[in-house]
Amino acid sequence: MKWFLNCCDVLQNTDKVEDDVDTILTHFNSLDISKTRPELSCDRILVESLYILCNLDSIHPLYRYLCLPNYLKRVSALKLAYNIAIANMKCNFIKIFKLSRKLCPLTFSALCLHHPMIQRRALQAMSFAYNSQHLTVPVEVLKQWLAFNSYEEARSTFS
């Protein structure tokens, strides 16, 4: 993924595009994929989104997003991935799960790698906020907020 993004950066930041395209094509030709499918196509928006969502704990993908040209930053799928990463940095866990409903299946799968960690951090924050017998949050609400699959899964996470 980083190699592909580096190639996109090289193409974007150079005047000698033809030389760089030749260099990139030689790299593509050395891959087995291009030998079996010569019409290799890449979706930069998808790769940028995956890069952000796979590296939620790092600020480098966010900095990379800010350095992208405006026509890329305006794409809703990429903006959505960026907003999820910002919500994660701000510990706005409910917003992460609300926004995740809008992701495509592949980017949602990338975010699912972080679901258990996000759920644990959210529960930890809520346990400090609602550490009282008078202030409790029902399991049904937590299941909805934190995208648990079942009540049993939510209850077992609390234990």
pLDDT tens for residues 122-132?
A: 777 777 666 66
Residues 22-66: tens digit of each pLDDT: 665 565 555 544 345 444 445 788 889 999 999 998 999 999 999
Prediction pTM value: 0.68
In a domain, 38, yes or no: no
Number of domains in the chain: 1
Using an 8 Å Cβ cutoff, are 146 and 95 in contact?
A: no
CA gap 128, 113 in Å, rounded:
25
CATH number at residue 71: 1.25.40.990
In a domain, 27, yes or no: no
In a domain, 19, yes or no: no
In a domain, 109, yes or no: yes
In a domain, 61, yes or no: yes
In a domain, 26, yes or no: no
Q: Which domain holds residue 72?
A: 44-157
Using an 8 Å Cβ cutoff, are 119 and 127 in contact?
A: no
In a domain, 74, yes or no: yes
